[in-house]
Amino acid sequence: MSPLFGRGQDDLLPCVLVRAQWCSPSRDRYAAIAVRRTMGSDVRRIAQERGWLAGRCNAFMRVFLGGILLTLFDASAASAESEPPAIPKLELEWTAPDECPTRASVLSEIERIAARPVAREFRARVTVARGPSGEYRAHITMRVGAAFDERDVEGATCTEIADASALLIALAFAPESLSTPPPQESEKPSAAVEPRARTKLSADGSRTAPHRATLHVGVTFGLDAFALPRPVPTIRPTVAISSDRLLLTLEGFASPTVSETLPGEPSKGASFRLLGAKLAGCWMFGANRLHVGPCIGLEMMGIESHGFGVTQNFNAITWTPTTVGEARLAWTPVRHFEALLQLGVGVPAEQLVFDVSSTSGAERIHRVAPVTLAVGLGIARTWDFFH
């Protein structure tokens, strides 16, 4: 062993053979001199150990790098799991008596049931009122994008109303909640909640609220003026269907018979009766239980006439198409029943003229006015359908 090295030849040989980074250049030079001075048997032994040392170094590096990568992966996974899910943007307008739960509690219940964020902005409005017999009623309107839906809920207590409203709103934009139990169990409201269809998805994957169609069947009692010689009462059976704001109505109408005589000759004249059918469309506006809107339609107005006391009696029905414009108001005092108020103006395509023949010649007894008026009060029963 050379005193210049301070260590044995065998200690330096690993540095020369594997070129480990901890060996300095000076030591590499001295190690090379030492190798040349070793015995032949020592050189063969070191050459055999070379592959073993290189393999140990490579294995060490693989384990070291693998540990670093595993540590980084676990840290990123833990960071992703710790991030809370995005809170859906829900605009909730809650109007209720003081004894009812607050908006914050209703919003918390909605988020608990939904248990996941939504893809689009969701707007909901709930108006709670107390009925005359002490029960609570809520009207819920929901909008996702351009889709619109509304519900009515009734319950014995305002807490039931709040829970039922939260459930309906949560299911409107998170239908997956029907098959996924909420994170915490709570007693479900016993309010009389109207059954609803599951929310459908549009072609682009965005949620749309289900559309509601309502069937209206009712009758209106009215007063018509300027179609006959004097105002007459009418009865108008009505069938209508509505979806969102659009309302289509089909109605028939008929009046009792009224008589008109010739001036100074009460025994001579004619009797008239109004009848016909009307098809109209309305665009309704409103909230809660009151809706109002303009209507426009086409009416086939017929006048049945019969002469009496004249030289030539007649009995015929004369028809004329009439353009009709109306204002319609609907009020829902109780669920599935509505009261109606209608005010309409008609413009006949032809001003019908009625003459009678007497001994003095043809005499005019009635002419339809260029504009007719009609007003009516009615009641209707409604049924809701979903599609």
Q: Is the pLDDT of residue 291 over 70?
A: yes
- CB neighbours of 34 closer than 8 A, spacing ≥ 6? 2, 5, 9, 12, 13
**252 φ, ψ (degrees, to nearest 5):** -110, 160
DSSP code of residue 179: T
Judge whether 81 and 142 are in contact, CB under 8 Å: no
Q: Is the pLDDT of residue 268 over 90?
A: no
Judge whether 258 and 283 are in contact, CB under 8 Å: no
pLDDT tens digits for range 299-312: 999 999 988 887 66
The burial of 260, by beta-carbon neighbours within 10 Å (0-12 exposed, 13-18 middle, 19 or more buried), is given as middle
**Residues in a beta bridge with 222:** 234, 376
Amino acid at residue number 380? A
Judge whether 299 and 278 are in contact, CB under 8 Å: yes
Mean pLDDT across 317-343: 94
State both tokens at 36.
């040349």
Question: In angstroms, rounded to a whole number, what is the distance separating the alpha carbons of residues 132 and 322?
Answer: 44
Question: In angstroms, rounded to a whole number, what is the distance separating the alpha carbons of residues 148 and 211?
Answer: 7
Residue 166: predicted pLDDT:
86
Question: In angstroms, rounded to a whole number, what is the distance separating the alpha carbons of residues 55 and 138?
Answer: 78
Percent of residues, the chain, with pLDDT higher than 90: 30
State both tokens at 368.
């339809």
The closest alpha carbon to 344, from 218, 242, 251, belongs to 251
**Residues in a beta bridge with 35:** none
State which H helix or E strand residue 201 sits in: strand 200-201
Q: Is the pLDDT of residue 208 over 50?
A: no
Least confident of 57-61, 72-76, 288-292, 382-386: 72-76
Judge whether 189 and 163 are in contact, CB under 8 Å: yes
The closest alpha carbon to 384, from 259, 242, 213, belongs to 213
Mean pLDDT across 334-351: 94
**CB-CB neighbours of 383 under 10 Å:** 11
Average pLDDT, the chain: 74
Q: Which residue has the higher pLDDT, 255 or 53?
A: 255
**Pairing relationship of beta strands 90-95 and 122-130 according to DSSP bridges:** parallel
Judge whether 136 and 126 are in contact, CB under 8 Å: no
Cα 57 to Cα 17, 21, 60, 320, distances in angstroms: 12, 12, 5, 106
State which H helix or E strand residue 43 sits in: helix 40-82
What is the DSSP track for 49-109? HHHHHHHHHHHHHHHHHHHHHHHHHHHHHHHHHHSPPPPP-EEEEEE--TTSPPHHHHHHH
Q: Is the pLDDT of residue 200 over 50?
A: no
pLDDT tens digits for range 211-223: 568 899 999 999 9
Q: Which residue has the higher pLDDT, 22 or 162?
A: 162
Question: In angstroms, rounded to a whole number, what is the distance separating the alpha carbons of residues 111 and 246?
Answer: 33
0.75 surpassed by pTM: no
pLDDT tens digits for range 132-159: 667 888 888 887 766 677 888 888 888 8
Q: Which residue has the higher pLDDT, 121 or 242?
A: 242
